[in-house]
Structure 1
Amino acid sequence: MIVHIVMFSFKKEKKKENLAKAKAILEALVKRIPSLNSMEVGLDFMQGERSFDLVLTSKFDDKEGLSTYANHPSHLDVVSFIKEVTDGAKVVDYEV
């Protein structure tokens, strides 16, 4: 199994609105991308100095499934939106 984790920092402008939209459109991907086995999207409530605003944890059967997800048109649409409203992201992919 492959686990894909991404942590995002959102821009201050319309932050609350953009976080809600990002969470909704990310969670909708589970129904659109067959290789995506599960996804959990969490919003940070601590808002600490080192905190990220949103974390995404998704699971795939294999590396090919992750690649299919990464290149799927629905995922690419979400990426376009997220790039506009974030300051950056950190990613970890690992095999279990």
Structure 2
Amino acid sequence: MVEHIVLIKFSSKTTNEQKEELIRRTLRLKDIIPGILDIQQGMNFSNRSQGYEVGLTVRFKDQTSLENYGPHPAHQEIVNFLKEIGLEDSIIVDFEIQ
């Protein structure tokens, strides 16, 4: 299995409603993209986040599933929505679960 972790930082103009819509859209990917075993996303409440406001974890069946996720049209719709609402920065970590 593979764990995919994303931390997202937004522009100061991004609204909470837009962030909540992002979360709703992202969670639907489990029913659309093959190879996703679990997906979780939510608003950060820690004051240690260095400005990253939303966290995402996706557990994939294998590395091939992760590789197919990136270019998948449904994932690309999320990427485009992120850009529209003011994506400022992201940190991504991928690792094999032992």
Q: TM-score, normalised by structure 1?
A: 0.91
Distance 1:76 1:20 in 2: 18
User: Does the CA contact (< 8 Å) of 1:2 and 1:95 recur in 2?
Assistant: yes
Q: Which ranges of structure 2 fall in alignment gaps of 5 or more residues? A: none
Provide the alpha-carbon RMSD of the alignment: 1.4
User: Does the CA contact (< 8 Å) of 1:44 and 1:51 recur in 2?
Assistant: no
- For residue 71 of structure 1, what is the amino acid of its counterpart? P
Q: What residue is the counterpart of 1:89 in the other structure?
A: 90
**Paired positions, count:** 96
Q: What residue is the counterpart of 1:62 in the other structure?
A: 62
Query: Does the alignment pair 1:42 with 2:49?
Result: no
From the superposition, tell whether residues 41 and 49 of structure 1 become closer, same or farther in structure 2 (CA, over 3 Å).
Answer: closer
Q: TM-score, normalised by structure 2?
A: 0.89
Distance 2:63 2:41 in 1: 21
Q: Which ranges of structure 1 fall in alignment gaps of 5 or more residues? A: none
| Percent identical | 28
Distance 1:92 1:49 in 2: 16
From the superposition, tell whether residues 45 and 63 of structure 1 become closer, same or farther in structure 2 (CA, over 3 Å).
Answer: same
User: Does the CA contact (< 8 Å) of 1:44 and 1:54 recur in 2?
Assistant: yes
Distance 1:16 1:42 in 2: 12
User: Does the CA contact (< 8 Å) of 1:47 and 1:53 recur in 2?
Assistant: no
